[in-house]
Structure 1
Amino acid sequence: MNRIFRDATGPCLAPGGSVVCVGAFDGVHLGHRALLARARALADQRGLQAIAVSFEPVPREFFARGKPVPRLTGAREKLALLLDTGVDSLLSLRFNAALAAMSAEAFVDDLLIARVGMRALCVGGDFHFGHARRGNVAMLEQLAPQRGFALEVMPDIGVDGTRVSSSAIRAQLAAGDFAAANAALGRAFSIGGHVVRGQQLGRKLGYPTANIRLGRRTSPVTGIFAVQVHGVHAQAMSAVASLGIRPTVNGTEPLLEAHLFDFDGDLYGRRLEVEFVAKLREEEKFADLDAMVRQIDLDARQARAILAGNDRIREAAPI
């Protein structure tokens, strides 16, 4: 059974010992999953627990001091993805000033060994930790024999000649290259949430939308998209979506709005997952609502064409 913990202090989570992997794990991409799978395999070989140590907020958010930081996954989604990898426990640390000030040695001694019961550690070659990121693989290679834990440094994972990393995937998404981003993620990029009530403007304009607030999460993508919406029926539904602040109506809060084709129903409160297939254009401010509707007509036709072609590709793919 998976267990989730938040505190850096407390009783040892694995008195019998554990194999640990540490990271922000934004996206839980193929590189992360290889690391987590190796920790799981080592734990099974040695009769130990597999424990993932992560952070919320992620360190980049803490050091940004309130400035928007794009993320591939929100806290809830990252948690679910990490637990799906088969770890026995997840220590999701509250990244705060105290943790940021913790020395690299204390991070190993007080947190990984005393709190998590680490007997073995799996990390990537660019792993840094502790105050001012002073800790690195070279330090771990010195500490491992002194502290009595095994260290395994995982090689980079590449897709089509490109190293898989969260920053690279964020850049691919921002550029609208969903094929490359999805290949590195090992799944389709999506944003999920519960449908909330909006201003009902879309319905008045002939384009009712399912609206999802992003909350504290900053999306790596903005603009107008062809999407597939999961959670309405057993099969995904084609849609055209907007993700942005809606400048034509003087919006300020980022909002994900999806118009589901050939659907008329009440989705309020339903949790939906919006899968991004293709970017159509950037968000823009129109002179009036009529001009905006004319562009939405074009967007909807383009999205239908793209998604119809996407469905044909899926149907033709070998099983």
Structure 2
Amino acid sequence: MSRLFRDVHGGARAPQGSVVCIGAFDGLHLGHQALVRHAVSRARDLGLPAVALTFQPLPREYFGRAAPPARLQSTRGRIEGLCALGADEVGLLRFGERLSGMSAEEFVDGVLHRLLRAREVWVGPGFRFGHARGGDLDLLCAMGTRLGFTAGSIAPVAVAGERVSSTRVRAALAAGDFSTAARLLGRPYAMGGRVVRGRQLGRTLGYPTANLRLPRGAAPLSGIFATRVHGLGPMPLPAVSSLGTRPTVGGVEPLLETHIFDFDADIYTRRIEVEFVARLRDELKFDGLDALVAQMDRDAGQARDILDLPPARKTA
């Protein structure tokens, strides 16, 4: 069972040594997966624990607080994904004033050497770290020679002739290009969480919804979507979803609202995953509820067509 740690101080977590990989790992795309799997494979060969180091908040979020990049994945999803890839320990390091001010040399000596007793350190292409991004693979290799570990970088992973990156995933999602996003991620893009209670306005309009609060940070997409819901049975359930602030009814907090077709059950507090299949339109503000419901009917019909469902049955 994988273990989670947050702090960089204290006694050695792996006294016999470890194999470490480091990255933001936002979205856990194919490049991230290749890095983690390589580190895990090396750890198994050496009989050592595999440690995945990442950060909360992400460095780009910390330094770009005025306009942070869209978060591809919740923190829980990132941790669970790293564990599923075989990491024995996940270091979700607290990235704030103290860690951001740590020089690259201090990070290597204090975290990789003293805390983790690293025997091997693996990073992605172009990796930089430490205060003012002063550290790179050359520094890792040089300090490793002195401290007793080796360091290396995996080859870039490419899709359609271009390197896989979180930036490419964000661009695909923003454009509603879910097929490209899935190729970059190695899986369909989905958002997960625990179903929370909303204002229950959708039920009064004929469209009850399962509501998920969004991960911290900006969402990588918004609008109305054809979706599938995982986690409520052996097969995914077809649905239509809205991701946004609900301007017609005065909403403020961004929310993912999902109406599951031909489904009626109490699923509050259940954990679900909402897979995005196709983008239908932008979120709009309507003049009133009648206009909103008319558009919701059209959205539901379009989503049913995309998901190969028969039209909704008319009620008397």
**Given the two structures, how large is their TM-score scaled by the length of structure 2?**
0.94
Cα pair 1:125 1:137 within 8 Å, conserved = no
Q: CA deviation at 1:68?
A: 4.9
Matches within 5 A, 1:8-27: 8-27=8-27
Match of 1:181 in 2: 181
Alignment-derived partner of residue 125 in structure 2:
125
Aligned partners of 1:167 and 1:67: how far apart in 2? Answer: 15
Cα deviation 1:145-183 (Å, max 9, x = unaligned):
233211121110011212111111111111111111111
Count of residues in Structure 1 that have an aligned counterpart in Structure 2: 309
Amino acid aligned to 1:133:
R
Alpha-carbon distance, 1:140 to partner: 2.2
| Per-residue deviation, residues 173-225 of structure 1 (Å, max 9, x unmatched) | 11111111111111111111122222221111111111111253432111000
What residue in structure 1 maps to residue 286 of structure 2?
Answer: 286
Shifted more, 181-190 versus 98-107: the winner is 181-190
1:116 is matched with 116
Counterpart in 2 of 1:302?
302
Partners of 1:226 and 1:39 in 2: CA distance: 37
Native 8 Å contact 2:170 2:220 kept in 1: yes
Please give the residue correspondences for 1:225-264 in structure 2 after superposition, counting only pairs within 5 Å.
225-264=225-264
Contact 1:121 1:151 in 2 (8 A): yes
The 8 Å contact of residues 100 and 130 in structure 1, kept in 2 or not, is answered as yes
Matched, 1:90 2:90: yes
Q: Give distance in 2, aligned partners of 1:248 and 1:109.
A: 55
Give yes or no for the alignment of 1:213 onto 2:213: yes
Q: Is 2:25 the counterpart of 1:48?
A: no
The SS at the match of 1:219 is: coil
- 1:141 matches 2:131: no
CA distance in structure 2 between the aligned counterparts of 1:31 and 1:68, rounded to whole angstroms: 22
Which amino acid in the other structure matches residue 7 of structure 1?
Answer: D
| 1:74–1:217 CA contact under 8 A, matched in 2 | no
- Alignment correspondent of 1:160: 160
Contact 2:243 2:255 survives alignment (8 Å): yes
1:215–1:155: structure 2 CA closer, same or farther, 3 Å change rule?
A: closer
Q: Secondary structure at the match of 1:196?
A: coil
Runs of at least 5 residues in structure 1 that lack an aligned partner in the other structure: 310-319
Report if aligned partners of 1:226, 1:307 keep a CA contact under 8 Å in 2.
yes
Q: Helix, strand or coil: the match of 1:181?
A: helix
User: Distance between the aligned counterparts of 1:212 and 1:49, measured in 2?
Assistant: 35
Give per-residue Cα distances to partners, 1:62-91, cap 9 Å, x unaligned: 223365541111111101000111122111
Alpha-carbon distance, 1:138 to partner: 2.7
The amino acid of 2:241's aligned partner reads A
Asked if 1 retains the 8 angstrom alpha-carbon contact of 2:137 and 2:151, the reply is: no
CA distance in 2, matches of 1:215, 1:147: 39
Verify the 8 A CA contact 1:224 1:283 in the aligned structure 2: yes
User: Given the alignment of the two structures, is residue 30 of structure 1 paired with residue 30 of structure 2, yes or no?
Assistant: yes
Partner of 2:313: none
* Cα distance change, pair 215–43 in 1 and its aligned pair in 2 (3 A): closer
**Counterpart of 1:12 in structure 2: which amino acid?**
A
| Residue in 1 that maps onto 2:312 | none
Can you give the 5+ residue segments of structure 2 that lack an aligned partner in the other structure? 310-316
Counterparts of 2:308 and 2:207 in 1: how far apart (Å)?
20
Contact 2:52/2:87 (CA < 8 Å) preserved in 1?
A: yes
> Whole-Å Cα distance in 1 between the matches of residues 56 and 308 of structure 2?
39
What is the TM-score normalised by the length of structure 1? 0.93
